[in-house]
Amino acid sequence: MNGDLRNKALAALTDVTDAGRPLIYVQTPEEDRVAALLRQAAVRAGKDRPGLFVWSVTEGLLENDKAAKSQPEGPRGILDFVIGHGKPAIFLLKDYHDFLRDSAELRRRLRDVYYDCLNTGKFVFISSPTKFIPQEIEREIAYVKLPMPDLSELESLVTDEAKVLTGGSLPQETVYLLARALQGLSFNEARHALRYGVAKTGRLDAETVPLVQEEKRLLVRKAGLMEYVPDTVGIDQLGGLDVMKQWLRQRRDLFYSRESIASEIVPKGVLMMGVSGCGKSLSARVIANVFGLPLYRVDMSQVFARGLGDA
């Protein structure tokens, strides 16, 4: 991952630490992405760069990507290690939520960690794909749901993967097209989609976009509720609806610049109503094409189906 400090995921983490919150719960399945973002946050500190410690019950403690000389013993040991560490540092505890679920002692010790780290430059992140914050510490712990990779992260990923897979660089326009095609996927899913495209074609360029989209369609179908629609339609293929088409053309530049302008002026959505056959589905495909967005179809019969709907 390139060191783009403007991406939303990094901002979501650093905003909490800048506010002085020493204990942060990050909900995401992408623990490696969290570690990479925290690495960037540490680099941003410059000469006062804190150490980065990553702990899991299976791999033990890593200090700046190398096995730490002192290895804490188990879930309680890592909390004791944090308290005993006398310098500013960032700690990432992977899947620690299950230990908190089963142990009142660990929940109490985590509160001790909070008060020990307050105003010391020590920050403890807990990463987990599920949200579990015990009631005893919900006031002390900050909660962040890590956003999906934004365009800047995906462009960095495409650039990095091009160097790894093809040994060269891509034109910025191609990087942009591929990044747009990957929007909505996790970082690892996006990487797999790119590598699938290269495996099928032997190259990574604009011609790879349809294959990337096909892999994306297969990944999305795993959820069962949504279907990725790969074939969008150009605006000139839609007859009538001149007012809507004019609105789309006027708002397109605003939408393309949405990462850098005020959110209240960015188009949020369109509600289309009408009888069967009047062009609603075709219009949705046109809108996706104009704004360069992935298009998904939600199966409402599945949403309200017995079992899933009841849940």
- CATH code for position 85: 3.40.50.300
Please tell me the predicted confidence (pLDDT) of residue 5: 38
Give residue 128's pLDDT: 95
Domain boundary pick from 145, 160, 181: 145
Same domain, 17 and 89: yes
Sorted by sequence, the CB contacts under 8 Å of residue 174 that are 6+ apart come out as 205, 206
pLDDT at res. 270: 80
10-residue mean pLDDT series, the chain (311 residues): 59 92 95 93 76 94 90 95 94 95 94 95 95 92 91 90 86 88 86 88 83 77 72 82 84 66 66 86 86 77 61 50
pLDDT at residue 257, as a whole number:
61
Cβ count within 10 A of residue 116: 16
Domain-embedded: residue 156: yes
Q: CATH number of the domain that 165 lies in?
A: 1.10.8
202 and 104 part of one domain: no
For 87, the domain range is 8-145
Measured CA to CA, the distance from residue 226 to residue 170 in angstroms comes to 32
Strand partners, 295: 229
Is the same domain home to 14 and 100? yes
Contact 251, 267 (CB under 8 A): yes
291 found inside a domain = no
Residues 101 and 63 in one domain: yes
